[in-house]
Amino acid sequence: MISSLFLVRLATADDIAALTELRALLLDGTGASYSSRTPEDAAKWRAAYRSWLAGVLGIHDSVQILVAEHRASRQLLGCATGIIDMRAPTSASPNGLSGWVQSVVVAPPWRGRGIANQLMQVLLRWFANRDVATIALQTTDRASGLYGKLGFAPSGECLLVRQEVPA
Protein backbone atom coordinates (compact mmCIF):
# COMPACT_ATOMS: atom_id res chain seq x y z
CA MET A 1 0.00 0.00 0.00
CA ILE A 2 1.38 3.37 -0.99
CA SER A 3 -0.20 6.14 1.00
CA SER A 4 -0.68 9.63 -0.30
CA LEU A 5 -1.06 10.71 3.34
CA PHE A 6 2.31 9.58 4.71
CA LEU A 7 5.66 8.20 3.65
CA VAL A 8 7.90 5.71 5.40
CA ARG A 9 11.56 6.70 5.58
CA LEU A 10 14.68 6.10 7.63
CA ALA A 11 14.86 8.09 10.84
CA THR A 12 17.53 10.77 11.12
CA ALA A 13 19.10 12.69 13.98
CA ASP A 14 16.51 15.42 13.36
CA ASP A 15 13.82 12.92 14.43
CA ILE A 16 15.24 12.10 17.88
CA ALA A 17 12.86 14.32 19.87
CA ALA A 18 9.77 13.04 18.04
CA LEU A 19 10.94 9.42 18.29
CA THR A 20 11.34 9.86 22.04
CA GLU A 21 7.79 11.19 22.36
CA LEU A 22 6.38 8.34 20.27
CA ARG A 23 8.23 5.75 22.36
CA ALA A 24 6.91 7.41 25.51
CA LEU A 25 3.46 6.16 24.46
CA LEU A 26 4.83 2.66 25.15
CA LEU A 27 7.08 3.35 28.12
CA ASP A 28 5.43 5.96 30.31
CA GLY A 29 2.55 5.01 32.56
CA THR A 30 1.60 1.71 30.97
CA GLY A 31 1.26 -1.57 32.82
CA ALA A 32 4.19 -3.16 30.97
CA SER A 33 7.11 -4.52 32.99
CA TYR A 34 9.43 -2.08 31.23
CA SER A 35 7.20 0.96 31.83
CA SER A 36 8.39 3.99 33.79
CA ARG A 37 6.95 4.11 37.27
CA THR A 38 8.17 7.57 38.28
CA PRO A 39 9.10 10.83 36.54
CA GLU A 40 12.72 10.03 37.39
CA ASP A 41 12.43 6.66 35.60
CA ALA A 42 10.99 8.45 32.56
CA ALA A 43 13.80 10.99 32.53
CA LYS A 44 16.43 8.21 32.74
CA TRP A 45 15.10 6.15 29.83
CA ARG A 46 14.53 9.26 27.71
CA ALA A 47 18.13 10.46 28.15
CA ALA A 48 19.50 6.97 27.49
CA TYR A 49 17.26 6.52 24.42
CA ARG A 50 18.30 9.87 22.92
CA SER A 51 21.95 8.89 23.40
CA TRP A 52 21.35 5.43 21.91
CA LEU A 53 19.58 6.92 18.89
CA ALA A 54 22.44 9.36 18.31
CA GLY A 55 24.84 6.41 18.31
CA VAL A 56 22.95 4.17 15.88
CA LEU A 57 21.05 6.38 13.42
CA GLY A 58 22.77 6.17 10.07
CA ILE A 59 25.75 4.42 11.64
CA HIS A 60 24.85 0.94 12.86
CA ASP A 61 23.99 -1.48 10.03
CA SER A 62 22.21 -3.94 12.32
CA VAL A 63 19.67 -1.35 13.50
CA GLN A 64 16.93 0.06 11.28
CA ILE A 65 14.69 2.80 12.64
CA LEU A 66 11.80 3.83 10.44
CA VAL A 67 9.37 6.70 10.73
CA ALA A 68 6.05 7.42 9.06
CA GLU A 69 5.99 11.08 8.15
CA HIS A 70 2.86 13.04 7.21
CA ARG A 71 3.49 14.26 3.67
CA ALA A 72 1.95 17.71 4.14
CA SER A 73 2.91 18.67 7.70
CA ARG A 74 6.08 16.50 8.01
CA GLN A 75 4.84 15.45 11.49
CA LEU A 76 6.01 12.00 12.58
CA LEU A 77 2.96 9.78 12.88
CA GLY A 78 4.63 6.53 13.88
CA CYS A 79 7.85 4.58 14.11
CA ALA A 80 9.29 1.07 14.21
CA THR A 81 12.70 -0.34 15.12
CA GLY A 82 14.37 -3.46 13.80
CA ILE A 83 17.49 -4.95 15.35
CA ILE A 84 19.58 -7.85 14.03
CA ASP A 85 21.38 -10.02 16.58
CA MET A 86 23.97 -12.73 15.98
CA ARG A 87 22.90 -15.86 17.79
CA ALA A 88 23.96 -19.49 17.73
CA PRO A 89 22.67 -21.17 14.55
CA THR A 90 19.46 -23.18 14.63
CA SER A 91 17.62 -25.19 11.99
CA ALA A 92 15.34 -22.20 11.45
CA SER A 93 18.28 -19.78 11.32
CA PRO A 94 21.44 -21.56 10.12
CA ASN A 95 23.31 -18.24 9.74
CA GLY A 96 22.52 -17.33 13.35
CA LEU A 97 20.91 -14.03 12.39
CA SER A 98 17.87 -13.20 14.46
CA GLY A 99 15.63 -10.17 14.10
CA TRP A 100 13.86 -8.28 16.83
CA VAL A 101 11.09 -5.73 16.28
CA GLN A 102 10.70 -3.01 18.91
CA SER A 103 8.85 0.21 19.46
CA VAL A 104 6.20 -0.06 16.79
CA VAL A 105 3.99 2.83 17.76
CA VAL A 106 1.56 5.14 16.00
CA ALA A 107 0.33 8.39 17.53
CA PRO A 108 -3.25 7.84 18.79
CA PRO A 109 -5.04 10.19 16.34
CA TRP A 110 -3.45 8.34 13.41
CA ARG A 111 -4.13 4.73 14.41
CA GLY A 112 -6.20 2.51 12.17
CA ARG A 113 -4.92 4.05 8.92
CA GLY A 114 -2.41 1.38 7.91
CA ILE A 115 0.63 3.18 9.27
CA ALA A 116 1.89 0.34 11.50
CA ASN A 117 1.29 -2.13 8.67
CA GLN A 118 3.33 -0.04 6.24
CA LEU A 119 6.16 0.41 8.77
CA MET A 120 6.22 -3.34 9.35
CA GLN A 121 6.21 -4.15 5.60
CA VAL A 122 9.31 -2.00 5.10
CA LEU A 123 10.99 -3.46 8.18
CA LEU A 124 10.26 -7.04 7.05
CA ARG A 125 11.81 -6.29 3.63
CA TRP A 126 14.91 -4.96 5.42
CA PHE A 127 15.20 -8.18 7.44
CA ALA A 128 14.66 -10.32 4.30
CA ASN A 129 17.34 -8.39 2.38
CA ARG A 130 19.78 -9.27 5.18
CA ASP A 131 18.86 -12.97 5.19
CA VAL A 132 17.16 -12.82 8.60
CA ALA A 133 14.65 -15.66 8.67
CA THR A 134 13.60 -15.56 12.32
CA ILE A 135 12.05 -12.39 13.70
CA ALA A 136 10.57 -11.95 17.18
CA LEU A 137 8.49 -9.26 18.82
CA GLN A 138 6.37 -8.62 21.88
CA THR A 139 2.85 -7.37 21.31
CA THR A 140 -0.31 -6.26 22.98
CA ASP A 141 -3.67 -7.91 22.43
CA ARG A 142 -4.75 -4.90 20.40
CA ALA A 143 -1.85 -5.19 17.94
CA SER A 144 -1.66 -8.98 17.70
CA GLY A 145 -4.10 -9.08 14.77
CA LEU A 146 -1.78 -6.98 12.62
CA TYR A 147 1.20 -9.18 13.42
CA GLY A 148 -0.81 -12.33 12.73
CA LYS A 149 -1.63 -11.01 9.24
CA LEU A 150 2.09 -10.44 8.72
CA GLY A 151 2.91 -14.07 9.54
CA PHE A 152 3.83 -13.80 13.21
CA ALA A 153 2.46 -16.51 15.49
CA PRO A 154 2.82 -17.37 19.17
CA SER A 155 5.88 -19.54 19.65
CA GLY A 156 4.39 -21.61 22.44
CA GLU A 157 7.45 -20.73 24.49
CA CYS A 158 7.30 -18.77 27.69
CA LEU A 159 9.20 -15.49 27.68
CA LEU A 160 10.88 -14.97 31.01
CA VAL A 161 12.46 -11.66 31.95
CA ARG A 162 14.92 -10.94 34.72
CA GLN A 163 14.96 -7.23 35.21
CA GLU A 164 17.31 -5.58 37.65
CA VAL A 165 16.18 -2.28 39.08
CA PRO A 166 18.82 0.28 38.06
CA ALA A 167 20.52 2.14 40.87
- Per-residue model confidence as pLDDT tens digits over 98-128: 999 999 999 999 999 999 999 999 999 999 9
| Residue 33 reports pLDDT greater than 80 | no
CATH of the domain at 42: 3.40.630.30
Domain for residue 167, yes or no?
A: no
CA atoms of 95 and 99, how far apart (whole Å): 12
Domain for residue 156, yes or no?
A: no
| Residue 21 reports pLDDT greater than 90 | yes
Split into its structural domains, the chain has a count of 1
pTM listed for this prediction: 0.91
Domain for residue 1, yes or no?
A: no
What pLDDT was estimated at residue 121?
97
Closest Cα to residue 68, out of 31, 29, 104?
104
> Which range marks the domain in which residue 16 is found?
6-149
Closest Cα to residue 49, out of 28, 14, 26, 19?
19
Domain for residue 159, yes or no?
A: no
Domain for residue 51, yes or no?
A: yes
User: Judging by beta carbons within 10 Å of its beta carbon (0-12, 13-18, 19+), is residue 141 exposed, middle or buried?
Assistant: exposed
Domain for residue 162, yes or no?
A: no
